[in-house]
Amino acid sequence: MANRAGRVALISAGIAAALCVATPVASAAPFAGGAGAHADTTPKRIGSTPHIPLGARTTGATSSSTELHMTVNLKPRDPQALADFIKATTTPGSPQYHHYLADGEFGPAFGPTQQTVDAVKAALRKAGLTPGTVSADRLSIPVTATTAQAAKAFDTGFENVSLANGKRGFVTTAAPALPADVASQVTGIVGLNDVSSYVSHAKPAGSAPIASGTAGRTLGSNATAPVFCSNAAQAFSSWGKTDTKNYYSPASLASAYDMPHAYGTGAGVTVAVFELENVDHTSLNQWQGCLGTHTAINYTSVDGGPTITPDNYNDGIESLLDIEDLIALTPSATIHDYMGPDAQNATDQNVLDTYSKIISDDSAQVISSSWGACETEVNTSDPQMLGAENTLFQKAAAQGQSFVAASGDSGSSDCYNPGVSNDTSFQVDDPASQPYVTGVGGTKMQGLGSSLTETVWNSGTDNGGGGGGVSKLWPAQSFQSGFTSVSGRAVPDVTALGDPDSGYPLIYTDRTVGDTDYNQEVVGIIGGTSGAAPTWAAAIAQADSTTGCLAGGRAGYLNDVLYRAAKTNYSDSFRDITVGNNDISGDGSGTYSAGTGYDEASGLGSPKTAALANALCRGTFHQLAGPVRVASGLKMSAKTTATVKATGTGGIPAKGVSAVLVNITVTGTGGSGWTTMWPRGMARPTVVTSEWTGTSVARKQTATVQVAADGYASLYSSQSGTFAVDVLGYYSTDESGDSYTPVSPARLLDTRNAVGVTTRTPIVNSTITFPVAGKDGIPSGVTAVVLNVSTLNGVGGGSLTAYADGATKPSLSQMYWDSAVPTRTNLLAVPVGSDGNVDIAVSGQTHVLADVFGYFSSTGKELTPVAPSRLWRQTLTAGTTSVIPVAGVDGIPSGVKAVELNVSAGTNPGGGYIEVWDDKGTRVDTSATLWKGGQQTTNQVIVPVGSDGKIDLYVSTGADVSVDVNGYFK
């Protein structure tokens, strides 16, 4: 939607230098100048001399009594150390990876020293000014003065100007000067002019009334994700607008960009939106009422905030687009609307203050800005903004805040503005062009699924196009090395839907006096890169809400991470845009064309969110030598919840753990029941982790369980009993662990038929050894295998323990059986001995089966845990084979190699077994779960997925079968 993106600066040679990983904490370099004998008091200009903006004219001297609210902005004490620290936070394997600065840490670590602050304050006082209290990060000192006082203190003058758009203001006649010893520590003095060029370039495509008057929430009772209420859907239809042709509904937009889409999406994440206008709260309530959402929205006014009442056309439409888009895609996130003064009245100081407030609050993990301006216009009229903004955005990156910004709506000619400027030369928009900001371009999109097409948005000079090109101010960046060879920072980095003719639907009240639908609730369609920016913000917020990011640290500064993902697995993370250009003039004078890979028309492409989330927050599996008990003797009544600390003991790290492989033991049950386990602080899922039939049952069940960032999980039981939890291994953002490779299920051990052993007798109070490495696709050198282990016809009661051959037998078992249920199945991740063998120790008497489903090694796929959800459920007759879609369901992306499932069978008097395998593969004699008659059972299994994104399931006898998904490997 907007060419609202900008402000820019010449970047210093130190900051422009290639980033490298280094010691993260900067040393306190002493201030070189000061009031001592060696101080250099020679006046030195800060920045370049400003010029009046293109199309403006001077109108005389500024009144000497005009009051100025300025900030003197200081440099970080060691710019290179700051750049190195940011690089380290985004580099897997670095000790600083995803360890960001906490609130209040930036000043002591990277802010100017107190000596520097004192010296600058002293120089200001000597110049006749009264400095205020320095900011907590020591980056800015506020000063209030008249133009006469400022002119004398900074050796400059002021003149009034009238801009081409009618706005009036003033600028300085020369760059401000301070003594050289302190000038070297100042990035810029902001507030010396008030001709901010931040403007709105909304691209509305019309509106239509809602016939019944209100978009009430008339949703289906089974609605699980934000969809249009019937009144709104009918209004679009009556208007002649079609979903995926003229606009993209929330569900369609989520589908197009492979986004998880449910009411719980985005939980635990805050997204800040930068605005220079008010927003109509009534319209936001209408949107939420229609979609059935209850998204929390907070508001903060900066510098007094906006005062103009929104009419939802000239004022307020940008905020509606930003917030309604985020509500639709991340309904459980918190949105924080930071509102500076109205754009037509805002000064550069107001803009800087609003960004500063967002970053200093540090409450948002993601920041979205759909406002800006042509970078060279900003550099011309107010070069003092340059260093100040750059340092703020570096601070955001150091704090782990992801910052996305619209790249503008004037194609490759960002200074072009109909009726104001006819400049169609190569230009880009800021802040999208800043190195510590991720610039978002615009596309035109049509269709969905296999019929979806996406091209560069270009509607010509009248209706705009996606911004992009090469900065004239920022040098080439190291993260773009290998993607483009241009001399400057290339923009955009990524792209998303921007074309108004296939744009974003809105619901709002028309408050524009004179409109036919004045004061009526309407549906509308709007476009521009102002819609693309919050769409990418939603994609990053979704990634931040995944277990990997919640446990191991949010995605943080994006540019390094995005380009690294493109280098390693481009087609999984991005949809490459290869058609179109952004020359809105149409004369070939400003053309960047889309092509294979990165280009200045579409960046890396649009998001494949589910897979991209895995690239942003990666993790590997760490197998423990034996089970580690983390909870013991939990006596629970029916329908109660206990809390389990699953990390920080027995070799399990306290931080960075995203999920644990646990063995849940239940004894002394009060009757048939089930459990579920999930991250503490989140809503309890409706799926089952383990279940049992009967009173006083003893049962062990393995499950992969997500944990909260603090390592805690909640355990719920529908029935009374005594519970224990053992951890067998864990998934962590520490990449020193192993990854998973699925194989077609194969039987490695069957004591009934001398498979893996030489006898056909049950195991009786003894240990057997069977080979794993070199069998059925399992190579040598694996660290662990995933085995589905079954006991058959056990006598009385007993237990089973699997472990690496040559190792000491663990003291904790992994399976039970009893006379009531002699047949049990459990999925185990088992360490493999150096000889490639596995041991199974049996206490009691039973036959044992072991089927292999995959292995862990240094080369493989990484688990992406997902919130447990029901993938499929059917009541099946005996001998039925079902084909179950996996890819594209419940947030599982295309191209997955395996899924981690819980397979459950309801009570059946005859007993039976279930097999699962990859569709297009061959069914073999293996078991996902098996049971004796009259029992209900649940078992975890990791299943390869066919090339068509499906799995097959066979049931030997009639049963009610359900399949729940816990995660996937891609």
Q: What is the pLDDT of residue 26?
A: 33
| The residue count for the chain | 970
Rg (CA), the chain: 31
CA distance 828 to 805: 15
Q: What is the pLDDT of residue 551?
A: 56
pTM of the model: 0.75
Task: Enter the tokens of residue 552.
Answer: 């191991």
- Which residues, including other chains, have CB under 8 Å from residue 907's CB and lie 6 or more apart? 693, 934, 935, 936, 960
Q: Kindly state the helix (H) or strand (E) to which residue 542 belongs, with its residue range.
A: helix 529-544
The answer to whether residue 235 scores a pLDDT higher than 80 is yes
Please give the order of strands across the beta sheet that includes 950-955.
Answer: 880-885, 950-955, 912-918, 929-931
Task: Enter the tokens of residue 883.
Answer: 């084909």
Q: pLDDT for 899-935, tens place per residue?
A: 888 888 876 656 788 888 889 888 877 777 877 766 7
Q: What is the pLDDT of residue 53?
A: 72
Q: What is the pLDDT of residue 97?
A: 83
Q: Which of 37-51, 193-207, 540-554, 884-898 has the lowest mean pLDDT?
A: 193-207
- For 647, 662, 741, the CA distances from 713, given in Å and listed in that order, are 10, 11, 27
Kindly tell me the burial class for residue 341, based on how many C-beta atoms sit within 10 Å of its own C-beta (0-12, 13-18, 19 or more). Answer: buried
Computed over every residue of the chain, the mean pLDDT equals: 87
Would you list the DSSP string of 644-705? EE-SSSTT--SSSEEEEEEEEEEES-SSSEEEEEEETTSPPPSS-SEEE-SSS--EEEEEEE
Would you list the DSSP string of 809-832? PPSS-SEEE-SS---EEEEEEEE-
HSE toward the beta carbon, residue 268, CA cutoff 13 A? 20
Smallest CA-to-CA distance from 456 within 254, 245, 603, 242 is with 603
Q: Which of 494-508, 523-537, 678-692 has the lowest mean pLDDT?
A: 678-692
CA distance 550 to 269: 9
Stronger pLDDT, 379 or 87, i.e. the higher one: 87
* Mean pLDDT in residue range 742-770: 93
Helix (H, G, I), strand (E, B) or coil at 562: helix
The answer to whether residue 25 scores a pLDDT higher than 60 is no
Q: What is the pLDDT of residue 23?
A: 31
The answer to whether residue 849 scores a pLDDT higher than 60 is yes
- Which residues, including other chains, have CB under 8 Å from residue 221's CB and lie 6 or more apart? none
Quickly state the pLDDT bin for 820 (edges 50, 70, 90). Answer: confident
Which residue is it, tokens 């089974």?
222
Quickly state the pLDDT bin for 547 (edges 50, 70, 90). Answer: low
Please state the φ and ψ torsions of residue 301, each to the nearest 5 degrees.
-95, 135
The answer to whether residue 16 scores a pLDDT higher than 80 is no
Which residue is it, tokens 């990484």?
862
The answer to whether residue 348 scores a pLDDT higher than 50 is yes
Q: What is the pLDDT of residue 491?
A: 98
Q: What is the dihedral of CA 422, 424, 426, 428, to 10 degrees?
A: 50
- Bridge-partner residues for 466, per DSSP? none
- Bridge-partner residues for 204, per DSSP? 526
Which residue is it, tokens 């039981």?
717
* Mean pLDDT in residue range 953-963: 90
CA distance 196 to 384: 12
- Which residues, including other chains, have CB under 8 Å from residue 535's CB and lie 6 or more apart? 253, 257, 325, 329, 440, 496, 497
Helix (H, G, I), strand (E, B) or coil at 582: coil
Q: pLDDT for 649-662, tens place per residue?
A: 999 988 778 788 88
Q: What is the pLDDT of residue 548?
A: 62
Q: Which of 363-377, 677-691, 937-951 has the highest mean pLDDT?
A: 363-377
Which residue is it, tokens 């895609």?
329
Q: pLDDT for 772-787, tens place per residue?
A: 999 988 998 898 898 8
Q: What is the pLDDT of residue 214?
A: 64
The answer to whether residue 5 scores a pLDDT higher than 70 is no
Q: Kindly state the helix (H) or strand (E) to which residue 58 belongs, with its residue range.
A: strand 57-61
- For 206, 248, 253, 582, the CA distances from 500, given in Å and listed in that order, are 9, 11, 14, 15
Please calculate the CA angle 446-447-453 and round it to the nearest 5 degrees: 55
Q: Which of 52-66, 187-201, 767-781 has the highest mean pLDDT?
A: 767-781
Q: What is the pLDDT of residue 221?
A: 44
